[in-house]
């Protein structure tokens, strides 16, 4: 059978006259305009945590909004990838922390497959950090402390336990939140059974510094046998 016959038929073009030419629009946007601070990998510490702290502080000092925002990537039961943006809660000897509901899609995906990835991107600095590792439950005490430290509205939303369910109406949401807020007034220390703090113990971390001439600098920390870190400079 000819190769052409194996290709799926293309649907007739239905371009909206009000929609811009996306290819030209995207080509017109600048990318990695710089200038950026050079990244001297020879000065990088032996472990990745101090370097991450330096880069995070640089993002804070540069006035980047939500510099602690990160993309959490998981896979579902069919092996299909999923991703969403969360807030980093802590970095310590256990790893990179985040808090979620076990009942959410991402919570169920992590329960099935704890191998995850985290991505930080600070465009004003031309910097990206990619982390691959395993998510570990930090336990009831850590999860409870995190939940009770959250704003009231955030706790009310988590107590609803309906994340990513189909919402029939805005009023349904407002009524549910109102019930949970009244519940919190009566029981300020109430905790949802599903709340959990995970720490991602990395096996690989890549620090990427963009360059205007595309001579990007990439430094990978790879966990070697015995829990030591191996540093490797990568091609752009």
DSSP state of 139: -
The angle subtended at Cα 159 by Cα 156 and Cα 160, nearest 5°, is 95
Q: 7, 65, 214, 215: which one is catalytic?
A: 214
**DSSP per-residue string spanning 142-200:** HHHHHHHTS-HHHHHHHHH--TTSPP--HHHHHHHHHHHHHHHHH-TT---TTEEEEEE
Q: Report how far residue 185's alpha carbon sits from residue 169's, in angstroms, rounded to the nearest whole number.
A: 25
Establish whether 214 is a catalytic residue.
yes
Q: Which helix (H) or strand (E) holds 24?
A: helix 22-28
Active site (catalytic) residues: 214
């Amino acid at each position: 059978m000819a190769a052409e016959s194996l290709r799926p038929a293309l649907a007739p073009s239905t371009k909206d006259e009000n929609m811009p030419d996306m290819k030209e629009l995207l080509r017109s946007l600048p990318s990695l305009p710089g200038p950026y601070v050079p990244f001297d990998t020879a000065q990088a510490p032996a472990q990745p945590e101090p370097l991450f702290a330096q880069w995070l502080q640089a993002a804070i000092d540069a006035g980047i909004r939500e510099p602690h925002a990160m993309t959490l990537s998981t896979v579902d039961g069919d092996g299909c990838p999923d991703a969403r943006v969360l807030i980093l809660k802590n970095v310590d000897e256990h790893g990179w922390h985040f808090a979620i509901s076990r009942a959410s899609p991402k919570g169920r995906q992590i329960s099935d497959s704890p191998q995850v990835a985290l991505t930080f991107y600070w465009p004003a600095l031309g910097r990206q950090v990619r982390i691959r590792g395993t998510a570990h439950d930090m336990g009831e005490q850590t999860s409870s402390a995190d939940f009770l430290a959250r704003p009231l509205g955030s706790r009310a939303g988590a107590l609803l336990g309906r994340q990513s369910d189909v919402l029939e109406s805005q009023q349904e949401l407002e009524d549910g939140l109102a019930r949970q807020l009244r519940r919190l007034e009566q029981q300020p220390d109430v905790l949802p059974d599903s709340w959990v703090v995970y720490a991602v113990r990395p096996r690989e971390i890549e620090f990427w510094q963009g360059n205007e001439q595309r001579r990007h600098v990439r430094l990978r920390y790879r966990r070697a046998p015995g829990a030591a870190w191996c540093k490797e400079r990568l091609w752009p």
